[in-house]
Amino acid sequence: MNTPMEISEPNPTIQPEISTDQNGSVPLPDPVPVPEHNSCPKFSEEKFLVSVEVCLKASSTARAEDVRIAVERMLEKRSMSYVDGPIPVPADDPFLLENVQKICICDTDEWVDNHDILLFWQVKPVVHVYQLSEEGPCEESTGDGQLSSFNEWILPAKEFDGMWESLIYESGLKQRLLHYAASALLFTDKGVNPFLVSWNRIVLLHGPPGTGKTSLCKALAQKLSIRFNSRYPQCQLVEVSAHSLFSKWFSESGKLVAKLFQKIQEMVEEENNLVFVLIDEVESLAAARKAALSGSEPSDSIRVVNALLTQLDKLKSAPNVIILTTSNITAAIDIAFVDRADIKAYVGPPTLQARYEILKSCLQELLRAGILINLEGSDNFVLPNYASLKDKLHVPELEESVSINLCRQLLEAAEACEGLSGRSLRKLPFLAHAALCNPYGCTPSKFLRTMIDTANRERPALPE
Ligand SMILES: Nc1ncnc2c1ncn2[C@@H]1O[C@H](COP(=O)(O)OP(=O)(O)OP(=O)(O)O)[C@@H](O)[C@H]1O
């Protein structure tokens, strides 16, 4: 059995097994994270490869290649700095205006410190063109009124648009996951001999409830479907609820597993198809096995768990599958399934910095939607991020602006939310709004005061 790689920050239960450099930091792979257009990363020593994602309009029928060339040309003409976020579609380019919904620069933060910016001459943009699928989930029902056993999406899906950006973690967790999955796909695609170099395509995210594990799996699948779309023009995500596989009628469960994997196998046989299988709450497999052993469940259940594990082992050998799993169990995870996972990451509750950034994004969204009224009058009012707070908060009191006062309040709110999960944090602004005496035309400052009160009041019992 391979030794799993722990790619999260150290946590009390599982020690990282990845090597560190002399400074004790985890070395990142060489700066070649993004596949080139032929899905093969190209080393560029002088320049940083920066991903530029271009989303086509739903109505567009333009060839992705033509759009890519047009965007590359547009970027070449501009002497711009590269920071994460959208850039406007040029008004003087009718072709791009007609076909492109948005252009987004991604992941520059992994190359620069928070205060630096990348200038155009330091960057080689890697343009990825994609169109969102609007089909929605295709639910597979069991036909007898029970829970469906799986959902299926065509990726990249409209539902998952913006999910990656909305998930905020410190210490580059998202980037490391993306690098590992991208490397695994590249090794497979290049036919690296697994007996000589061993790797795997099973990812396990574990941690307390509401920390965004399921969302992170879906967002990762979406990202990879965009980054690898020239190698894999079709991409699907199959979400399996481990719970629903263990139906009351265990004799049915065996059939469900067989049906599910037959379907996945068919998808995988198409070599241009990239398939993600997401299994939530894998610990329920262990629970079913344990219950069967103690005699409190029919022994059928152990057969179902074993069938599932066998099927997963079979699937593992297919080059175009990535298996994503989540578990809420943070302590000793010792189920047979987990041993199979190669990439394990602990996803914990948000730290102060992440809480600040999550609440900041909530506040910005309420300002954008006009729920809060910005007294500074600017349409593009942007609050500073956590990293630049230190400098901002040290200005003399006389020079203090409305935005600096807001930062202080936001920081206070983030401190008041210690111990809350990301899910609870994203609910807090709604609860605060409902608690306002006058919910119309509230200022951000008044809103933040209410949010701090709400956090203090609700913290012990905030629903997950
Ligand atoms: N770190 C985070 N940054 C931003 N949003 C977050 C974060 N963590 C959780 N959320 C929010 O919480 C929601 C719920 O997360 P999700 O269901 O993926 O968590 P989970 O860990 O899988 O929970 P569970 O284990 O209970 O199923 C997300 O859609 C997101 O809005």
Q: Per residue in 340-371, pLDDT tens?
A: 677 888 898 999 999 999 999 999 999 989 89
Of 88 and 3, more confident: 88
From the list 379, 359, 354, the residue with the least C-alpha distance to 367 is 379
- Percentage, residues of the chain above pLDDT 70: 73
- List the residue whose alpha carbon is closest to atom 4 of ligand 1: 167
Task: Using pLDDT thresholds of 50, 70 and 90, give the confidence band for residue 404.
Answer: confident
DSSP 312-337: HHHHHTSTTEEEEEEES--S----HH
The sign one gets for the Cα dihedral 359, 226, 64, 121 is positive
Degrees to nearest 5, angle at CA 328 with 8 and 9: 10
Decide whether any atom of ligand 1 lies within 6 Å of the 349 Cβ: no
- Ligand 1 atom at shortest distance from the alpha carbon of 215: 18
pLDDT, tens digit (0-9, with 9 covering 90-100), for 86-109: 999 999 999 999 999 999 999 787
Q: Is the pLDDT of residue 233 over 70?
A: yes
ipTM over 0.95: yes
Cα–Cα distance, 247 to 254 (Å, whole number): 10
How many C-alpha atoms does 237 have within 13 Å on its Cβ side? 30
Query: Residue 141: what pLDDT?
Result: 57
Best mutation site among 167, 177, 462, 464 for ligand 1 pocket (most ligand atoms within 8 Å of CB): 167
| Range among 74-83, 184-193, 345-354, 390-399 with highest mean pLDDT value | 345-354
Using CA atoms, how far residue 65 sits from 21, 127, 224, 234, in Å, is: 40, 10, 18, 16
Decide whether any atom of ligand 1 lies within 6 Å of the 243 Cβ: no
Q: What is the mean pLDDT of residues 375-383?
A: 67
Decide whether any atom of ligand 1 lies within 6 Å of the 329 Cβ: no
Using CA atoms, how far residue 79 sits from 74, 108, 364, in Å, is: 10, 16, 28
Query: Residue 316: what pLDDT?
Result: 76
Decide whether any atom of ligand 1 lies within 6 Å of the 429 Cβ: no
Structure pTM?
Answer: 0.84
- Ligand 1 atom at shortest distance from the alpha carbon of 350: 1
Task: State in Å: Cα 210 to ligand 1 middle.
Answer: 4
Task: State in Å: Cα 61 to ligand 1 middle.
Answer: 35
Of 95 and 297, more confident: 95
Best mutation site among 282, 284, 426 for ligand 1 pocket (most ligand atoms within 8 Å of CB): 426
Task: State in Å: Cα 141 to ligand 1 middle.
Answer: 26
Decide whether any atom of ligand 1 lies within 6 Å of the 325 Cβ: no
Task: State in Å: Cα 280 to ligand 1 middle.
Answer: 13
Decide whether any atom of ligand 1 lies within 6 Å of the 33 Cβ: no
Of 298 and 92, more confident: 92
162: Cβ–Cβ under 8 A, 6 or more apart, which residues?
none
Cα–Cα distance, 134 to 244 (Å, whole number): 26
Mean model confidence pLDDT for the chain: 79
Q: Is the pLDDT of residue 254 over 50?
A: yes
Decide whether any atom of ligand 1 lies within 6 Å of the 350 Cβ: yes
Decide whether any atom of ligand 1 lies within 6 Å of the 406 Cβ: no
Task: State in Å: Cα 37 to ligand 1 middle.
Answer: 32
Whether the CB-CB separation of 221 and 152 falls below 8 Å is answered with: no
Q: Which residue has the tokens 């401190």?
A: 415
pLDDT, tens digit (0-9, with 9 covering 90-100), for 151-189: 899 999 999 999 999 999 977 889 889 988 888 888 888
Whether the CB-CB separation of 375 and 442 falls below 8 Å is answered with: no
Query: Residue 292: what pLDDT?
Result: 63
- Ligand 1 atom at shortest distance from the alpha carbon of 169: 1
